């Protein structure tokens, strides 16, 4: 289990104070939890407060294997979220989310890793 976001942000703050270069990786961006302008701006504000200069973003990877496991879990724990996760696997959703992220990044002294949101199905294949 991953540490809570608050603990991660505190660790980034301490590393920054020790003059250790860091970056933040926000991913996968989960529907319902952090896919709107307000939540993304709040997180970016917090990251800037602790000295982050570079942020990487990643769309949720809903490959068939991951999707099957995730949806089995959601059916048992939070079936009301299934439509949101199904929608997250559409190009329209990804485009909307990318616009929100790019807007949130404007005017900030932050670099976006790869200058785009990572989407695994569009990554170049290894030879």
Q: Of residues 5 and 19, which shows the higher confidence score?
A: 19
- List, for residues 38-79, the tens digit of each pLDDT value: 999 999 999 999 999 999 999 999 988 999 999 999 999 999
In a domain, 51, yes or no: yes
Output the DSSP codes for 82-118. Answer: HHHHHHTTSHHHHHHHHHHHHHHHTTSS-EEGGGS-B
Count of domains forming the chain: 1
Asked if residue 85 has pLDDT above 80, the reply is: yes
Q: What band does 32 get if pLDDT is binned at 50, 70 and 90?
A: confident
In a domain, 9, yes or no: yes
In a domain, 127, yes or no: no
Q: For tokens 């199905």, what's the residue?
A: 121
pLDDT confidence of residue 127: 56
Q: Closest by alpha carbon to 58, among 24, 86, 87, 85?
A: 24
Parent domain of 30: 5-122
Q: What band does 120 get if pLDDT is binned at 50, 70 and 90?
A: confident
In a domain, 55, yes or no: yes
In a domain, 15, yes or no: yes
**Cα distance between residue 50 and residue 22, in whole Å:** 10
In a domain, 84, yes or no: yes
């Amino acid at each position: 289990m991953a540490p809570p976001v608050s603990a991660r942000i505190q660790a980034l703050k301490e590393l920054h104070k020790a003059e250790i270069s860091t970056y933040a990786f926000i991913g996968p961006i989960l529907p319902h939890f952090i896919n709107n302008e307000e939540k993304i701006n709040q997180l970016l504000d917090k990251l800037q407060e602790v000295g982050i200069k570079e942020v990487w973003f990643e769309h949720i990877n809903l490959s068939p294997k991951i999707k099957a496991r995730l949806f089995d879990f959601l059916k048992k724990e939070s079936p009301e979220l299934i439509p949101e996760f199904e929608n997250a696997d559409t190009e329209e959703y990804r485009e909307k989310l990318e616009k929100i992220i790019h807007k949130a990044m404007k005017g900030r002294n932050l670099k976006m890793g790869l200058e785009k949101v990572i989407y695994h199905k569009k990554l170049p294949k290894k030879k």
